[in-house]
Amino acid sequence: MSKTQPNILLVYTGGTIGMIMDPKTSALKAFDFKNLLQRIPELQLLDCTIETLSFEDPIDSSNMNPKYWVQIAEIIEDNYDDFDGFVVLHGSDTMSYSASALSFMFENLAKPIIFTGSQLPIGDLRTDAKENLITSIQMASLQKGGKPVIKEVGLYFEYKLYRGNRTTKINAEHFEAFESFNYPHLAESGVHLKVEYDDLFKPNLRKKLVVHKQFKTEILLIKLFPGISESVLKPFFIMEHIKGIVLETYGAGNTTTEAWFIDLLKQTIKRSIPIINVTQCSGGGVLMGQYETSTQLKSIGVISGKDITTEAALAKLMFMLGEQVSPRAFKTIFETSLRGEMT
Ligand code: ASP
């Protein structure tokens, strides 16, 4: 193994990128990861060394959950000192959730963890898998003065590298499947790789890597809609084992001002169950108090998700509950950007 070349670990978790069509059923299913490298001989031309590790049973990312997040994190943690960067091949459906979760798990991350996948399987003639994979590896290999350029969890798809916890899957068909509405892309692949250095996350390099692995999943995501009713909503809020709620509200964080609704939130917050306000809009964020329809939310202690994505809000809530952050500190910490997930 050459010492001058960056050493990249490729972790295959599943997803379309490594799938083939079952000729009998025409359904896509995961295939042996070793074949993936055989299918892309171009990988040997890259200016880095690549090693691969695969989930024993690769999954469609619709089956992703915190146990798998821990599995991905432990693969990276166990190999952290031996590699300069990590590329995680993952189904696109829940990639933004996993990238968000991993960003919270890796405190003081000093190396790149780049998530990527594809809309078409690697064997397809018109596949987007090759470009996504090759450039993700290049992004993970970028170095300056012998140190990785990217020191955060990124997501690379269709010529752009994004901060993972800022992304959302926006299209089920287009190759341009992801968007980061509230934060600029970190790098772009054209004739050259153009890195936006000012926008990269700057971790405290004097601190040691800490990998957090506890998540609490007893949470709910509730999307408001005109006509939402007390009889349907109340049972969810008063459930005994509920530990936190993400509320997708209108516009800049607005909700109905009906008394039953505000009272339900108030009683829930009194039980020390955090309620996070995130917007249903793709871009922009929550600003409680801007309209009358959100001033009460502010006064009863609803937590502002600011411009966080729903995916990152859910991951952060599960992570902070797992870390057993005290109810007193919860609001302040949630409203603080931990990994560049909010502005
Ligand atoms: N259903 C697939 C998955 O998320 C889609 C993809 O890989 O893009 O695993």
State the SS3 of 23-80: CCCCCEEECCCHHHHHHCHHHHHCCCEEEEEECCCCCCHHHCCHHHHHHHHHHHHHHH
What range does the domain containing 234 cover?
219-334
Answer whether residue 192 shows pLDDT above 70.
Answer: yes
Residue where a domain stops, chosen among 188, 211, 234: 211
| Domain match, 195 and 244 both | no
Q: Give 158 or 25, the one with higher predicted confidence.
A: 158
Whether residue 263 sits in one domain with residue 139: no
- Among 12, 60, 64, which is best to mutate for testing ligand 1, by the most ligand atoms less than 8 A from CB? 60
- 13 Cα: distance to centroid of ligand 1 (angstroms): 11
- In this structure, what token pair is assigned to residue 51? 């090693």
Q: How far away, in angstroms, is 61 Cα from ligand 1 center?
A: 6
My answer on whether 249 and 176 are in the same domain is: no
The whole-number average pLDDT for the span 144-161 is: 97
93 and 39 in a single domain? The answer is: yes
Domain assignment of residue 33, yes or no: yes
Kindly report, residue by residue over 275-286, the tens digit of the pLDDT: 999 999 999 999
- Ranking 28-42, 90-104, 308-322 by mean pLDDT, the lowest is 28-42
* 154 shares its domain with 107: yes
Q: Which of 36, 61, 116, 122 to mutate to test the pocket of ligand 1 (most atoms within 8 A of CB)?
A: 61
Q: Are residues 126 and 57 in the same domain?
A: yes
Find, among 33, 31, 35, 16, the residue nearest to 91 by Cα. Answer: 16
Q: What is the whole-number distance in angstroms between the Cα of residue 175 and the centre of ligand 1?
A: 13
- State the CATH number of the domain containing residue 293: 3.40.50.40
Lowest mean pLDDT among 13-22, 32-41, 223-232: 32-41
Residue 206 CB neighbours (<10 A)? 6
Distance from residue 197's CA to the centre of ligand 1 (Å)? 30
In a shared domain, residues 201 and 289: no
Q: Is the pLDDT of residue 1 over 60?
A: no
Q: At what angle do helices 310-322 and 95-105 cross, to 10 degrees?
A: 40
Are residues 319 and 231 part of one domain?
yes
Task: Tell me the percentage of the chain whose pLDDT exceeds 70.
Answer: 97
Point out the ligand 1 atom lying closest to the alpha carbon of residue 19: 7
The pLDDT of 186-192, averaged and rounded, is 96
CA distance to 14, 41, 261, 273, 292, per residue, from 58 (Å):
4, 22, 43, 35, 49
Query: 269 CA distance to ligand 1 centroid (A)?
Result: 36
Q: Find the mean pLDDT for residues 105-121.
A: 97
3-state class of 140 per DSSP? Answer: helix
In a domain, 121, yes or no: yes
Does residue 283 fall inside a structural domain? yes
Average confidence (pLDDT) over 115-132: 91
Is 318 part of a structural domain of the chain?
A: yes
Number of domains in the chain: 2
- Are 199 and 225 contained in the same domain? no
Phi, psi of 34 (to 5 degrees): -60, -30
Quick check: is 140 in a domain?
yes
Check residue 335 and report its DSSP letter: T
pLDDT for position 28? 76
Pocket of ligand 1 (CB under 6 A): 14-16, 60-62, 91-93, 117, 119
- Between the two ends of the chain, the Cα-to-Cα distance in Å is 41
**Which ligand 1 atom sits nearest the alpha carbon of residue 59?**
9
**Does residue 60 lie in a domain region?**
yes
Q: Supply the pLDDT for residue 44.
A: 84
17 lies in some domain: yes
The catalytic site residues sit at 16
- Which pLDDT does position 153 carry in this prediction? 98
Which of 162, 191, 211 is where one domain is finished? 211
47 and 179 together in one domain: yes
Residues 229 and 189 in one domain: no
Q: What is the CATH number of the domain that holds 28?
A: 3.40.50.1170
Where is the domain boundary, 185, 211, 237?
211
Same domain? For 139 and 177 the reply is: yes
2 in any annotated domain? no
Mutate to test the pocket of ligand 1, among 13, 19, 62, 128 (most ligand atoms within 8 A of CB): 62
Question: Could you tell me the pTM of the whole model?
Answer: 0.95
